[in-house]
Amino acid sequence: MNDAWIAERMRHIDASGIRKAFEMARAMKDPINLSIGLPDFDVAGSVKAAAIEAIRSGKNQYTLTQGIPELRNALQAAVDAEFQHADRQVLVTSGTAGALLLAICAVVNPGEEVIIFDPYFVMYRHQATLAGGTSVLIDTYPDFRIKPEVVEAAITPQTKCVVVNSPVNPTGVVARDDEMRALAELCKTRNVLLISDEVYRAFCYDALFASPATWNEDVLVVDGFSKAHGMTGWRLGFAHGPSRIIQEMAKLQQFSFVCAPSIVQYAGTAALDENLTPHIEAYRRKRDMVVAALSDGYELPFPEGAFYAFPRAPWGTATDFVAEAIRRNLLIIPGNIFSRRDTHFRISYAVDDTTLKRGLDVLRQLANLPGTAGCPG
């Protein structure tokens, strides 16, 4: 193998620390796995049936690049009802990750800057690198809130876009309406594209979700079925935004993903009719278990959404703390996977109650606290 064959850009893209946790979990004996953002509920029976029926009825070919009309029209109707924008089109994609990749590659030129809030979902920086862009990280510690005045100070003539995620992976923090509105209006005023990753929008426990597209018609939204419907392996997402950007993303999809998987699109159409309330309520209760167990021993920014919490390690670096947790068979993710800092760690509470209580017990032991016998749930 000749190293010269490898593109220079790959030297700046690391293997995912989250995927490494997948591999570590497989090697551990009965791990208490609070590391991965996989919903612990199965895909609904009606959604599975729709996929099976699509296979049996021969709907196995390529679809239109933009998505099958049944799904695209249903999504378009929902988007139009929510935003009522004169120019907002929908594109069906291969997962939310696929939508993000198409978006970044369609808008970012080499050398242009992408503003990302730290901590961040690991994919954002690497996709910017793939497009030849430069990531500009905005620190949001200690409360993980968006501060528009800090964003404005970071904007330069080279700034092309801002990527915002709410509810946030890895912190679980949900942006307030005033924060999101100020960010949306700032980007509009400064002619900077705002890309909003809304894949966790269904999981808001204490207030209604606020999309920045409410206040800025030019916001590009990416979303998907993975988290809300437990369809992580099905790879079905979508984007909506100004038609000019969506058309360029569709052009790029023609020469990359081609289209989202055909049978999954039919399943996604059925998924739109599912009632998500039981799942949301179940995760609200799990969130409350986490807060009750950890608030007295950890500095824990209140997780208002998604299914993550991001406590500060009570001693040492997050890497040191996570290493000790792993020695106790608890698998969690050090915060430096998501951040320039190594102070916090991410736990996912998208697990059954028994596993969650076991993990919380280990975390309380690590902070010299009593067990979780009295925790709700």
323 vs 369, residue with greater confidence: 323
Angle at 77 between CA 71 and CA 80, to 5 degrees: 135
In this structure, which CATH number among 3.40.50.850, 3.40.640.10, 3.40.190.10, 3.40.50.12780 belongs to the domain 61-271? 3.40.640.10
Give the residue range(s) of CATH 3.40.640.10 domains in the chain: 61-271
The residue assigned the tokens 């005045």 is 149
pLDDT, residue 375, reads: 47
User: Taking 70 as the threshold, does the pLDDT of residue 1 lie above it?
Assistant: no
Give the residue range(s) of CATH 3.90.1150.10 domains in the chain: 3-43+276-366
Query: How many C-beta atoms lie closer than 10 Å to residue 370's C-beta?
Result: 12
Residue 195: closest CA among 187, 205, 203, 186: 187
| Entry field: residues in the chain | 377
DSSP state of 71: H
pLDDT, residue 373, reads: 47
Residue 38: closest CA among 273, 331, 335: 331
pLDDT, residue 24, reads: 60
Mean pLDDT estimate for the chain: 94
Residue 121: closest CA among 106, 105, 102, 101: 101
User: Taking 60 as the threshold, does the pLDDT of residue 376 lie above it?
Assistant: no
Q: What is the pLDDT of residues 93-136, one digit of tens each?
A: 999 999 999 999 999 999 999 999 999 999 999 999 999 999 99
CA distance 337 to 346: 9
Lowest mean pLDDT among 8-17, 52-61, 266-275, 310-319: 8-17
Query: How many C-beta atoms lie closer than 10 Å to residue 287's C-beta?
Result: 23
User: Taking 50 as the threshold, does the pLDDT of residue 203 lie above it?
Assistant: yes
Q: Binning pLDDT at 50, 70 and 90, where does residue 92 land?
A: very high
Burial 24-55 (b: 16+ CB within 10 A, else e): eeeeeeebbbbbbbbbbeebbeebeebbeebe
Q: Is 309 helix (H, G, I), strand (E, B) or coil?
A: strand
pLDDT, residue 2, reads: 72
Residues 6 or more apart in contact with residue 1 via CB below 8 angstroms: none
* Dihedral Cα 171, 176, 182, 184, nearest 10 deg: 70
pLDDT, residue 372, reads: 57
pLDDT, residue 374, reads: 41
Q: What is the pLDDT of residues 172-190, one digit of tens each?
A: 999 999 999 999 999 999 9
Query: Regarding the domain delimited by 3-43+276-366, which CATH topology (the fold level of the hierarchy) does it fall under?
Result: Aspartate Aminotransferase, domain 1 (3.90.1150)
pLDDT, residue 12, reads: 77
The residue assigned the tokens 């807060």 is 291
Q: Binning pLDDT at 50, 70 and 90, where does residue 377 land?
A: very low
Q: How much of the chain, in percent, has pLDDT values that exceed 70?
A: 94
pLDDT, residue 160, reads: 98
Q: Binning pLDDT at 50, 70 and 90, where does residue 16 land?
A: low
In one letter, which amino acid is 230?
G
